[in-house]
């Protein structure tokens, strides 16, 4: 092992003075190659540069980052086959390459590289580079530590029925989970990179002749156009390739469930896998996708249809219930039955604030408690959110700051938002709820109506990679309603939905 020391080597000077974009060729001198690697990895304590003799007679040098190497694979699969051979008369690089291919197993096979930049890129990705004296070629071996974790049930998506394992941070394993479910050569996987520094692996997955090629090409164009130093999670890509960055509604689905991704691929959608992220992006999607779950297709269609209606109804309550309450109690008391009006008046008699202030205080408090429950450690997070809501609500009513009625309205609204299975859709509803409340406080039910109309216009104008967001309702497609308003029996869903590009 050698330290990363500065030398007066002319090759190192050339590297230091050259532009960073120039791709230098590998030298036939080990000292030059060592100087080049030390120059690129200066101040990197975990860089290992080691001289050795391979096959007993050939001078070589290995370079790797020790924190990324599988130690057992290095010893048993790489070092021992090289060092335990008798001296062999190997003079040509081609002879060395053939001997390396012959001696190593299929797991550890060499790859020929010819440039310094390629060697550097492979080292930072966990590979080991073998330089040979008097050879302008080097050999790369994949000995990196897999850094895997066990497959577990997705933490963000509850599984009622179906496979109880989700994606992890390793992209190869995530792709294998899809391959295990879709046994067809039509499943295509195209690899891209994003991030100038991170060089994150991005894999586009789709079924050939089922997914629209125009969508695949547009997706590749958008990912290739990402101009950032680092892409550390799929959320970066989701925002950068979205058709409507400033819309609160999700036009790309993020999921951790392999069965949902497999089903989406069969429907003609495209999936985007990001190395280092357990969340897979699915596109294009429609508004109705945010209210569907994988379990809808695992149970009888009658139960699935009932649950969908329940989600739609409570999603409307989560969006509009506080604003309707504010509008009616502030401007339209004549719409309330007399007995209920007296009850509401008695409850609000000691409250010093108008209904809009009450609602805003409780809505903001509820959202804060929910966020605190998510961020706190799991053993105490749920307890804090539930107990906090009960204690604060009861104390506020007893102190005369908030009426008991608004507590009921906010509680029903919060519970209703939990029925929306898509987290992105649930967050969008929570955000839009506040402008509707302000419109209700200013203009009553007229303001609520104008706000809902503006929201509908916004939804109709959204696109997800060219697909209208409200398909198949707008534009209308009768056959597509079989999997929107209801979950029809399988005998009525034999054809894929045709997405029109407008």
Best-predicted range by mean pLDDT among 3-7, 232-236, 403-407? 232-236
Residue 155 lies in a domain: no
449 shares a domain with 306:
yes
If you average pLDDT over every residue of the chain, what do you get?
Answer: 84
In the listed set 263, 285, 307, which residue is the last one of a domain according to the structure?
A: 285
247 neighbors 458 (Cβ within 8 angstroms): yes
188 and 74 inside one domain: no
pLDDT at residue number 4: 44
pLDDT, residue 106, reads 56
5 within domain boundaries: no
> How much is the average pLDDT of 301-321?
93
Q: How many domains does the chain have?
A: 3
8 A C-beta contact, residue 309 and residue 301: no
Claim to verify: residue 229 and residue 364 sit in the same structural domain? no
Give the range among 80-84, 188-192, 249-253 with minimum mean pLDDT.
80-84
Tell whether 322 and 464 lie within a shared domain.
yes
Q: Check residue 283 and give its pLDDT.
A: 92
122 lies in the same domain as 100: yes
Q: Is the pLDDT of residue 252 over 50?
A: yes
The torsion angles phi and psi of 41, rounded to 5 degrees, stand at -110, 35
Do 136 and 189 share a domain, yes or no?
A: no
Lowest mean pLDDT among 164-168, 275-279, 399-403: 399-403
Q: Are 469 and 243 in contact (CB under 8 A)?
A: no
The answer, yes or no, to whether residue 205 has pLDDT greater than 90, is yes
Q: Are residues 347 and 466 in the same domain?
A: yes
* Single residue among 261, 285, 309 that ends a domain in this structure: 285
pLDDT tens per residue, range 369-418: 888 777 777 666 666 666 676 677 778 888 888 888 888 898 899 889 88
pLDDT recorded at residue 72? 80
Q: Which residue has the higher pLDDT, 144 or 20?
A: 144
| Residue of higher predicted confidence among 127 and 105 | 127
pLDDT digits (tens, 9 = 90+) for 469-499: 998 888 888 877 888 888 888 877 766 665 5
Question: How many C-alpha atoms does 474 have within 13 Å on its Cβ side?
Answer: 11
Above 70 in pLDDT, residue 8?
A: no
Per-residue pLDDT band for 2 (boundaries 50, 70, 90) equals very low
Q: Tell me the range of 94-98, 387-391, 425-429, 492-496 where mean pLDDT is highest.
A: 425-429
Q: What is the DSSP string of 290-352?
A: GG--GGGGTS-HHHHHHHHHHHHHHHHHHHHHHHHHHHHHHH-GGGS-HHHHHHHHHHTTT--
Same domain, 336 and 422: yes
Same domain, 341 and 430: yes
Q: Is the pLDDT of residue 5 over 50?
A: no
**Looking at per-residue confidence, does 118 or 383 come out higher?**
118
Report yes or no on 502 lying in a domain. no
Assess if residue 492 is contained within a domain. Answer: no
**Which one, of 268, 267, 196, 207, lies nearest residue 236 by Cα?**
196
**First-last CA distance in the chain:** 63
Q: Are residues 313 and 281 in the same domain?
A: no
Q: pTM for the full model?
A: 0.81
For residue 73, the model assigns a pLDDT of 78
pLDDT at 206: 94
Range with top average pLDDT, 80-94, 156-170, 241-255, 373-387: 241-255
Residue pLDDT, tens place only, 122-151:
898 888 898 988 888 888 888 877 667 788
**496 lies in some domain:** no
Does pLDDT of 265 surpass 70? yes
Residue 104 lies in a domain: yes
pLDDT of residue 105: 59
Tabulate helix, strand, coil % of the chain (nearest 5). Answer: 50, 15, 35
HSE-CB for 86 with a 13 A CA cutoff? 0
Domain match, 281 and 313 both? no
Q: Which of 390, 118, 422 is nearest to 294 (CA)?
A: 422
Predicted confidence at residue 368, as pLDDT, reads 84
Q: Judge whether residue 56 has pLDDT over 50.
A: yes
Give the pLDDT confidence score for residue 401 in this predicted structure.
84
Which pLDDT score, from 0 to 100, does residue 436 have?
A: 95
Helix or strand (DSSP H, E) at 143: none
* Whether residues 263 and 361 fall in one domain: no
Split at pLDDT 50, 70, 90, the class of 260 is very high
Burial grade of 146 (CB within 10 A; 0-12, 13-18, 19 or more): exposed
Mean pLDDT over 99-122 rounds to: 78
Which helix (H) or strand (E) is 454 found in, with range? helix 445-461
Mean pLDDT of 11-16: 45
* Least confident interval from 10-14, 20-24, 108-112: 10-14
pLDDT at res. 224 = 92
Question: What's the pLDDT tens digit per position in 331-366?
Answer: 988 888 888 888 888 877 778 888 899 889 888 888
pLDDT in tens, 432-478: 999 999 999 999 999 999 999 999 999 999 999 989 999 888 888 88
165, 152 in Cβ contact below 8 A? yes
Domain's final residue, options 255, 285, 315:
285
291 domain-assigned: no
Flag whether 132 is in a domain. Answer: yes
Nearest to 11 by CA among 32, 42, 34, 31: 32
Residue 451: which domain range?
299-483
């Amino acid at each position: 092992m050698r330290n990363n020391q500065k030398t007066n080597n002319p090759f190192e000077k050339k590297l230091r003075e050259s532009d960073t974009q120039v791709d230098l060729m590998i030298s036939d001198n080990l000292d030059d190659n060592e100087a080049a690697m030390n120059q690129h990895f200066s101040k990197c304590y975990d860089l290992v540069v080691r001289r050795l003799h391979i096959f007993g007679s050939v001078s070589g040098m290995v370079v790797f980052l020790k924190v990324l190497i599988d130690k057992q694979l290095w010893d048993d699969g790489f070092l021992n086959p090289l060092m335990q051979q008798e001296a062999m008369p190997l003079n040509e690089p081609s002879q060395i390459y053939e001997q390396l291919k012959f001696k190593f197993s299929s797991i550890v096979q060499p790859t020929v590289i010819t440039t310094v930049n390629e060697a550097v890129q492979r080292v930072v990705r966990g590979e080991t580079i073998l330089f040979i004296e008097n050879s302008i070629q080097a050999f790369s071996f994949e000995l990196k530590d897999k850094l895997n974790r066990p497959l577990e049930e997705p933490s963000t998506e509850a599984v009622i029925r179906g496979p109880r394992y989700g994606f992890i941070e390793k992209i190869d394993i995530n792709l294998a989970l899809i391959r295990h479910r879709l046994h067809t050569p039509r499943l295509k996987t195209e690899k891209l990179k994003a991030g100038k520094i991170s060089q994150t692996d991005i894999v586009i997955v789709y079924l050939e002749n089922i997914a629209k090629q125009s969508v695949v090409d547009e997706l590749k164009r958008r990912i290739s156009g990402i101009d950032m130093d680092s892409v550390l999670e799929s959320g970066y890509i989701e925002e950068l390739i979205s058709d409507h960055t400033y819309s609160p509604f999700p036009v790309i689905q993020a999921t951790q469930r392999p069965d949902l991704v497999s089903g989406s691929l069969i429907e003609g959608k495209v999936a985007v896998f990001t190395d280092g992220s357990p969340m897979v992006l699915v596109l294009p999607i429609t508004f109705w996708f945010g209210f569907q779950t994988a379990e809808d297709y695992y149970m009888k269609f009658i139960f699935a249809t009932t649950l969908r209606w329940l989600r739609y109804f409570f999603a409307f309550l989560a969006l509009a219930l506080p604003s309707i309450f504010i509008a009616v109690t502030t401007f339209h008391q004549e719409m309330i039955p007399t007995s209920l009006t007296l009850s509401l008046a008695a409850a609000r008699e000691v409250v010093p604030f108008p209904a809009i202030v009450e609602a805003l205080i409780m809505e903001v408090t509820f959202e804060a408690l929910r966020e605190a429950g998510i961020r706190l450690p799991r053993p105490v997070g749920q307890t804090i959110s539930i107990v906090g809501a009960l204690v604060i609500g009861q104390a506020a009513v007893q102190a005369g700051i908030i009426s008991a009625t608004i507590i009921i309205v906010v509680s029903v609204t919060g519970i209703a938002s939990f029925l929306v299975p898509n987290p992105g859709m649930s967050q969008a509803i929570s955000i839009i709820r506040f402008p509707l409340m302000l419109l209700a406080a200013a203009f009553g039910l007229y303001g609520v109506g104008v706000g809902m109309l503006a929201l509908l216009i916004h939804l109709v104008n959204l696109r997800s990679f060219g697909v209208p967001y409200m398909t198949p309702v707008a534009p209308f497609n009768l056959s597509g309603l079989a999997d929107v308003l209801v979950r029809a029996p399988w005998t009525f869903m034999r054809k894929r939905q045709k997405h029109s590009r407008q």
